[in-house]
Amino acid sequence: MPTHPWQAALRLQLTPGLGLRRNKLLVQALGGCTQVLQAPAPWLREVLGERTCAALQAVPPDWPDAVAAVEHWLAAAPAGWRHIVLTWGDPDYPAALCELPDPPLLLFITDAEPADAPVLWPAGVALVGSRGATPQGLAITRQWATELADAGWCVVSGLAHGIDAAAHAGALQSERQGLLTMALMGTGPDQVYPSAHAHLKTRIAARGRCVTEYLPGERARKMNFPLRNRLLVALSAGVVVIEADLRSGSLISAQCALDLGREVMAVPGSIRSPLSQGCHALLRQGAALVTSSADVLAALPAGLVCPVQTPPWHPTPPAAPSDGLDPAWIARVRQALGHDPWTVDELQARLGGSWAELQAGLQSLEWRGLLARLPGDRVQWISDGGEPVIPDK
């Protein structure tokens, strides 16, 4: 059995077919990762279904190796550095991430603070954009990052080529004391991607922080980077898109920011530049037009600081799940939803029946991992147990 909460979290994370959304439901309902593993089997079977409950009760075969890898990494911090694993439920776990539908259970952190100092989460502002930015885009990013760091903000970005690297490097030009910049990585904490940014990563850890949800040893995988963006956004009060073409991942970050109620800002540019098309699309959708770091500061909420210690779960007893769902009803919901997201109102208009029964049924489907909640009181069927595709609004 796990001896630390992070070991319990690791078991939940490695349990096949469980997923971050259902892990959030479980941790919120039961009060912590360790408590989930100690929950009575009948209750788990009722809410998760037979197969997932059985998976959760077995020890995942890759769990011992993962524990060993984390322990190795924790012990491997060079002198003057610290390696930390934060588990959802720890006092230092950033409450802002709990706003996500799929918060990570674990965060791996590298910084150069004293070993016993708390992990504080100051107000962040994300500067994001294309890996293939123009020289002007890079210069703007560096300058604004320095100015925002000087003004007391922590510049958040993704350690990638282009705008990301310029954002970190610009923030590190600031002479302010405190956390200047934060890199959200798409790899394990002991990896660097791109490898050319090894030195930059060290500089960030020295005067800021490197953060990832991926396990030590996890190399760069293409699918990790868009997922990483949700953390980058959640830890920021606002997202500034400097340069982005219409297929840029920055537009996904901007959509995520809208969903989370974060301020979205975009920098206009030449209509001849493909790297401005994404920004112009955001401006058309109502993003704030910014042409200076002063504009960014004016658009950011005043005095916002991520709460350091907010209980990330509801300390209430587990909600009584609804009784066994009628397979015919499940089939009707599935047919009504199809592949598209629908509001609960629309779904009720299609299915009829009482509002309370529908909500209870939907909650059970969510626990079973068959349904995802989307922003705007919408729901979407998860056909293969995977994450839903969040569509454009």
Q: Which is nearer to a copy of itself, 199 or 284 (CB)?
A: 284
Q: Interface with a copy of itself includes 53 (CB under 8 A)?
A: no
In sequence order, which residues have a C-beta less than 8 Å from that of residue 380 and are 6 or more positions away? 337, 340, 341, 342, 371, 372, 374, 388, 389
Which span (2-10, 192-200, 214-222, 284-292) binds a copy of itself, by CB under 8 A? 284-292
Q: Interface with a copy of itself includes 297 (CB under 8 A)?
A: no
Which span (50-58, 211-219, 266-274, 335-343) binds a copy of itself, by CB under 8 A? 266-274
Say if residues 187 and 160 touch (Cβ distance below 8 Å): no
Which span (26-34, 123-131, 233-241, 272-280) binds a copy of itself, by CB under 8 A? 272-280
Q: Interface with a copy of itself includes 172 (CB under 8 A)?
A: no
Say if residues 184 and 232 touch (Cβ distance below 8 Å): yes
Q: How far is the CB of 263 from a copy of itself (least distance, A)?
A: 14
The CA distance from 88 to 107, in Å, is 8
Q: Interface with a copy of itself includes 87 (CB under 8 A)?
A: no
Select the residue interacting with a copy of itself from 38, 57, 270, 310 (CB under 8 A). Answer: 270
The CA distance from 333 to 348, in Å, is 10
| Length of the chain (residues) | 393
Q: Which is nearer to a copy of itself, 36 or 264 (CB)?
A: 264
Q: How far is the CB of 272 from a copy of itself (least distance, A)?
A: 7
Q: Interface with a copy of itself includes 276 (CB under 8 A)?
A: yes
Residues 97-156 binding a copy of itself (CB under 8 A) are 136, 140
Q: How far is the CB of 280 from a copy of itself (least distance, A)?
A: 6
N-term to C-term CA, the chain: 44
DSSP category for residue 392:
P
Give the strand pairing for 124-128 and 154-157: parallel
CB atoms within 10 A of CB 315: 8
Alpha carbon dihedral 7, 12, 14, 19, in 10-degree steps, equals -150
Q: Which residues bind a copy of itself (CB under 8 A)?
A: 136, 140, 267-272, 276-277, 280, 283-284, 289, 291-292
